[in-house]
Amino acid sequence: MNAFLATIARDLRLATRRGGEAALTLGFFVVAITLFPFGVGPGPELLGRIAAGIIWVTALLAATVSFDRLFRADMEDGTLELLALQPLPLELVVLAKAIAHWLMTGLAVTLLAPLMGLMLNLPGDAYLPLIAGLLIGTPSLSLLGGVGAALVLGARRGGALIGLLVLPLFLPALIFGVSAVEAVLIGMPLAPHLLILAALLAVALPVGAFGGAAALRLALE
Amino acid sequence: MTAETQPAGLVADHLTCERGGRTLFAELCFAVAPGGALLLTGPNGSGKTSLMRVLSGLLPPRAGRVLWQGKDTAEEPAPWRRALAWLGHDNAIKPQLSVSENLAFWARLTPAARGVDEALEEVGIGHLADLPAAMLSAGQRRRLALARLGLTRGGCWLMDEPTVTLDTASLARLSAMIARHRADGGLAVIASHDALDLPGAQSLDLSGFAVAP
């Protein structure tokens, strides 16, 4: 447990020292959302109707731009091979790195989402399902994205590849995240959508840990 | 050879390694007992690094086994990982962290038997502990990587070219460090072109195990 927490703490500390890393993801999130009122026109009614979709899609894209750095720096300076030889199983190392990634992207995006909702004229009832959905849905993104990041470690220009690889995997989270908001707006219960997002997370946990570790071992051979 | 007759320590049992369709070495056997050391030599490309990676478990051999205390390390990796301290070509140093923070992270991951300060003193960079690792010279970075091995007591050190970028004084310190480790009951496998002072060490020339193409 100590080693697991140490790995999370190290990634968070490195990210804050490098500065800008988490800020880069959030900056992308905010700037990309800001583009939409210009693109579709500033009509408050139209914006309010598509606000939840905009926020979710942009959250997926913001998470995707940060995946390339998840393992690459550790691979290049020899940290990864050393981590693979520690008593702590590589699966838990992958999990720890996914948690650190989520704290810096998924959680941060969730906290910023109400502000973005305000800008996009999101209906008042939609805030709770949007935030609850992001909170439960975004950890899956960090886990599945970790597998993608580990798979493209051997490839040059892996950054663009990751997007192609993982964005389709994010589709279920996107569908149920947005439909949670829709459901509340038309007076349907919220719980089923959140439960499906939780079920997706329950699948993403083992897939992320075992899949990510297996891909890393291949990359290290 | 059966498991019952295996000596304690590290044993390579008929290892064959293939990289990119080329067999680097075949039927390689050796045994290193606690307190012992093995110096790997051989020309560039003879497979020293590949052998080190096979021993560590990073690279599965095509045939053969690596045994630690009589147990197959592929089947039972846990005891081997606890005993293993790895020094690869890369130093695994984060320039954003200070020298002591770099080492303290590994001290929390491995069952560290010695303190961070003690390990830094042993390689002669104790006075640099609070400096960002980005400020270190190449030789000092190598010494910081060596300090990571110095955290452990006993066990097995796998050192791939540990002397790269080290000055003469550091070479002497490294020899003393390995001697201390062996006196503690540890063993070391070292791939190096430099003359290290390793009293009573076995040596193995990998070119003798090369397979004619």
Q: Which residue's entry shows tokens 């700037």? A: A31
Question: Closest to B109 (Cβ–Cβ): which among A76, A81, A86?
Answer: A86
pLDDT given for residue A173 in this prediction: 95
> So where are chain B's domains?
3-209
- On chain B, the residues whose CB falls within 8 A of the CB of A18 are 96
Cα separation, B139 vs A112, whole angstroms: 45
Q: What's chain A's average pLDDT?
A: 92
Count up the domains in chain A and report the number.
1
Element (DSSP H or E) covering residue B15: strand B10-19
Confidence band of B194 (pLDDT split at 50, 70, 90): confident
> Taking the mean position of all CA atoms in its chain, how far away is CA B172?
17
As for the ipTM of the complex, it is 0.89
Burial class (CB in 10 A: 0-12, 13-18, 19+), B114: middle
Which of A16-20, A68-72, B150-154 shows the lowest mean pLDDT across its residues?
A16-20
For the stretch A70-82, pLDDT in tens is 898 899 999 999 9
How distant is the Cα of B198 from the closest Cα of chain A, in angstroms?
25
pLDDT given for residue A32 in this prediction: 95
Those residues of chain A whose CB sits closer than 8 Å to some CB in chain B are 2-3, 6-7, 10, 13-14, 17-18, 76-79, 81-88, 220-221
How distant is the Cα of A1 from the closest Cα of chain B, in angstroms?
10
Which two structure tokens, joined as six digits, stand for B174?
Answer: 């490294």
More confident residue, B44 or B178: B178
**Residue of B66, B80, B100, B105 for testing the chain A interface, max A β-carbons within 10 Å:** B105
DSSP H stretches of helix in B15-97: 48-56, 77-83
Q: What's chain B's average pLDDT?
A: 89
What residues contact B53, with CB distance under 8 A and at least 6 apart? B59
For the stretch B34-47, pLDDT in tens is 999 999 998 888 88
Cβ–Cβ under 8 Å, residues A114 and A127: yes
Q: At what angle do helices B168-183 and B138-150 cross, to 10 degrees?
A: 10
Cβ–Cβ under 8 Å, residues B124 and B143: yes
What residues contact A42, with CB distance under 8 A and at least 6 apart? none
Q: At what angle do helices A127-151 and A212-220 cross, to 10 degrees?
A: 30
Question: Closest to A82 (Cβ–Cβ): which among B57, B92, B108?
Answer: B92
Confidence band of B134 (pLDDT split at 50, 70, 90): very high
Cα separation, A209 vs B96, whole angstroms: 27
CA atoms within 13 A on the CB side of B190: 27
Q: Is the pLDDT of residue B119 over 80?
A: yes
Cα separation, A42 vs B97, whole angstroms: 46
For β-strands B10-19 and B71-72, DSSP reports them as: unpaired
Count of other CB atoms within 10 angstroms of residue A41: 9
Q: Which residue's entry shows tokens 């913001």? A: A62
Whether B109 and A7 lie within 8 Å, measured CB to CB: yes
Element (DSSP H or E) covering residue B84: strand B84-87
- On chain B, the residues whose CB falls within 8 A of the CB of A77 are 90-94
pLDDT given for residue B1 in this prediction: 43
- On chain B, the residues whose CB falls within 8 A of the CB of A221 are 58-60
pLDDT given for residue B212 in this prediction: 62
How distant is the Cα of A63 from the closest Cα of chain B, in angstroms?
23
Percent of chain B's residues with pLDDT above 90 = 69
Cβ–Cβ under 8 Å, residues A180 and A132: yes
- On chain A, the residues whose CB falls within 8 A of the CB of B60 are 221
- On chain B, the residues whose CB falls within 8 A of the CB of A218 are none
Nearest to A52 by CA among A189, A179, A197: A179
More confident residue, B213 or A175: A175
Q: In this structure, which amino acid lies at residue B66?
A: V
Assigned CATH for B3-209: 3.40.50.300
Burial class (CB in 10 A: 0-12, 13-18, 19+), B213: exposed
Whether A81 and B84 lie within 8 Å, measured CB to CB: no
For the stretch B77-111, pLDDT in tens is 999 999 999 999 999 999 999 999 999 999 998 87
> Taking the mean position of all CA atoms in its chain, how far away is CA A136?
11
pLDDT given for residue B5 in this prediction: 55
Those residues of chain B whose CB sits closer than 8 Å to some CB in chain A are 56-60, 78, 81-82, 84, 86, 88-94, 96-97, 101, 105-106, 108-111
Cβ–Cβ under 8 Å, residues A192 and A75: no
For the stretch A123-153, pLDDT in tens is 999 999 999 999 999 999 999 999 999 999 8
Question: Closest to A78 (Cβ–Cβ): which among B90, B109, B110?
Answer: B90
Burial class (CB in 10 A: 0-12, 13-18, 19+), A131: middle
How distant is the Cα of A198 from the closest Cα of chain B, in angstroms?
31
For the stretch A108-131, pLDDT in tens is 999 999 999 999 999 999 999 999
Cβ–Cβ under 8 Å, residues A120 and A51: yes
Question: Closest to B109 (Cβ–Cβ): which among A6, A17, A81?
Answer: A6
Cβ–Cβ under 8 Å, residues A212 and A94: yes
- On chain B, the residues whose CB falls within 8 A of the CB of A76 are 90
Alpha-carbon Rg for chain A in angstroms: 18
Residues A86-106, mean pLDDT to the nearest whole number: 94
Cα separation, A134 vs B137, whole angstroms: 45
pLDDT given for residue B20 in this prediction: 84
For the stretch A98-109, pLDDT in tens is 999 999 999 999
Q: What is the DSSP string of A56-109?
A: HHHHHHHHHHHHTHHHHHHHHTTHHHHHHTSSS-HHHHHHHHHHHHHHHTHHHH
**Residue of B109, B116, B152 for testing the chain A interface, max A β-carbons within 10 Å:** B109
pLDDT given for residue B193 in this prediction: 84
Q: What is the 3-state secondary structure (H, E, C) of B182-195?
A: HHCCCEEEEECCCC
Which of A69-78, A134-143, B54-63, B194-203 shows the lowest mean pLDDT across its residues?
B194-203
Nearest to A71 by CA among A150, A156, A165, A161: A150
Residues A23-35, mean pLDDT to the nearest whole number: 92
Which two structure tokens, joined as six digits, stand for B126?
Answer: 């104790």
